[in-house]
Amino acid sequence: MTLSETALNNIMRYTKKVRNYKISFCFSLLLFLALVTISCGNISQKTANETFLKENPTYTIIHSDTGEGWDGVVNYHFDYKKPGDKIVYKEAWTFERQDDGTYKVTGRWTPKE
């Protein structure tokens, strides 16, 4: 075996090790992000919409999305129409996680445009 063949073999082994470390790192990072996402999960859009419509059964939600918030507290913004009205209204609700894991509405307001 010549010197250049030995060097090439060493480079190939080194490349495989680096690739394996990169794969391990990426897998670990994805696992960490998944755990953080699960542990910091907030109220789902479906649940927020259902809660809004339970109090306003005749309204039609045009759009809803989360706004600012922090662990256990999230603000949901609703764009909705009232029956027989073409105006799109906006309202924001604060949902707070309770000890049993459910969410309770603790605030309502009309966002400033």
- Per-residue pLDDT of the chain (113 residues), as tens digits, is 666 777 778 787 888 777 776 666 555 556 555 444 444 457 899 999 999 999 999 999 999 999 888 888 999 999 999 999 999 999 999 999 999 989 999 999 998 87
Q: Do residues 16 and 32 both lie within one domain?
A: yes
Q: Do residues 32 and 84 both lie within one domain?
A: no
Q: Do residues 52 and 75 both lie within one domain?
A: yes
Q: How many CA atoms lie within 13 A of 14 on its CB side?
A: 6
Q: Do residues 105 and 62 both lie within one domain?
A: yes
Work out the end-to-end distance of the chain between its first and last CA atoms, rounded to an integer number of angstroms: 76
Q: Do residues 62 and 96 both lie within one domain?
A: yes
81 touches 59 (CB < 8 A) = yes
Q: Do residues 50 and 23 both lie within one domain?
A: no
Q: Do residues 31 and 56 both lie within one domain?
A: no
Q: Do residues 35 and 50 both lie within one domain?
A: no
Q: Find the domain containing 25 and state its range.
A: 1-39
Q: Do residues 33 and 49 both lie within one domain?
A: no
Q: What are phi and psi of 21, to 5 degrees?
A: -65, -40
What's the CA gap between 104 and 78, in Å, rounded? 16
Question: Count of domains in the chain?
Answer: 2
Q: Do residues 31 and 59 both lie within one domain?
A: no
Q: Do residues 59 and 105 both lie within one domain?
A: yes
Q: Do residues 30 and 77 both lie within one domain?
A: no
